[in-house]
Amino acid sequence: MKSSTSPKKAKKSLSSTRWTLQIIALFSTALIGLRHILPGESSRGGSFDTFCPFGGIETLWPYLSTGTTLKTTNLLNFSILLGVLGVALLAGRAFCGWLCPVGTTQDIMTDLGRRLTRKESGRSGKRTSSMLPLSIQHRWEPWLRKLKYLVLAVIVPASSWTVFPPLREICPARALFSFQLTAPLLVSVLILFLVSSLLVKRFSCKYLCPLGAALAPFNKIAPLRLTINQESCTGCGRCDAECPMDIEDIPQNLRSAECSQCLICQETCAIQDTLILKLG
C-alpha cells in the first residue's frame, strides 16, 4: 500500500521547522551574548554588537568615509549584513519571519499573552477566545507602520557623527541578549519591548525595527515568493486572520513590504494549491 503524507501533516511539519529554526537562532544569539560576558572573552572577536546585521548598516558610512568602523562594531558586521542581504535578495524579509531572534521573542511573548488571557466559551468548553493580542485601531495602523522607516532615516545619517552605533542604547536585541543591562535606558527598553510584544503581535517588527524597514523593499523584487491561484481562492480571510504581521487582504498583497515571509498564510490556507511558492 502506497503511503503518502497528508497536506495537513506536511503543513504542521513546516510550522515546527520554522519554530525549530527560530529557537536555534534565539539560543545561538543568547550564547553569543553569554560568551561576551565571560571573563576575558570580551577581548576575543569584538563585542556582542559585532554580530548585529543592523550594525553593518550603522557603521557602513563611517567606514567608507573614514576607514574606521564605529566603536563596538567591526568588519564582522558586514559579513553578517551580507548574509541577511543574501536572504533578502532571494526571499525578501524571510530573515524576519524565520531567523530573527527578536521576532522569535515577540512570537513567544504573544503566545504567552494569548495563553494567559484565554477564556473558554460555549458549553462544550472546546471553543476558546483570548483578550490578547490586541489590535491597533485601523486609522493609526498605516502611520505607525511608517515609524520604522523614520527610525531608519534618522539612524543612518546619525551614524556619521557618532562614536558608538546610534541605536546601541535603545536596541531591543542588545537589551535581550547581551546580558549587560548597564544603562537604565536599556532596562526600560527591555521592559517596554516585552510588554508591547505581550499586547500586540510583532509590535517591534511592524512599527519600530529599522532592519525590517531596510529589508522591506526586497519583498517587491525577491524571486522566491508566494503566488496565488485566483480561481481557487474563495476569499475566506483565513490567511488574514492568522498573519502575524496583520496584513489585510493577503491574496491581493502578497508582495506587501510588511510581509515577513513566514508562510503561515500558505500553511493555514484550507484549499490546496491556492497559495503557491514559486521561484522567478
Query: Would you tell me which residues interact with other proteins (CB under 8 A)?
Result: 10, 13-14, 17-18, 21, 43-46, 50, 67-71, 73-87, 90-91, 94-95, 98-99, 224, 263, 266-267, 276-280
Nearer to other proteins, 94 or 214 (CB): 94
Distance of CA 275 to CAs 96, 100, 236, Å? 20, 24, 13
Residues 108 and 90: their CA atoms lie apart, in Å, by 27
Nearer to other proteins, 82 or 150 (CB): 82
Q: How far is the CB of 73 from other proteins (least distance, A)?
A: 7
Q: How far is the CB of 95 from other proteins (least distance, A)?
A: 7
Determine phi and psi for 104, rounding to 5 degrees: -65, -40
For residue 127, give the 3-state DSSP assignment: strand
Please report how the helices 7-35 and 101-116 are oriented relative to each other, as an axis angle in degrees rounded to 10: 110
Distance of CA 88 to CAs 13, 199, 213, Å? 24, 28, 12
Nearer to other proteins, 181 or 228 (CB): 228
Handedness of CA 141, 146, 147, 148 (dihedral sign): positive
Nearer to other proteins, 24 or 134 (CB): 24
Q: How far is the CB of 86 from other proteins (least distance, A)?
A: 3
Q: How far is the CB of 127 from other proteins (least distance, A)?
A: 29
Question: Which residue in the block uniquely carries the three cell numbers 513546516?
Answer: 14
Nearer to other proteins, 158 or 276 (CB): 276
Q: How far is the CB of 274 from other proteins (least distance, A)?
A: 13
For residue 278, give the 3-state DSSP assignment: strand
Nearer to other proteins, 40 or 184 (CB): 40
For residue 119, give the 3-state DSSP assignment: strand
Q: How far is the CB of 144 from other proteins (least distance, A)?
A: 28
Please report how the helices 101-116 and 184-199 are oriented relative to each other, as an axis angle in degrees rounded to 10: 60
For residue 150, give the 3-state DSSP assignment: helix
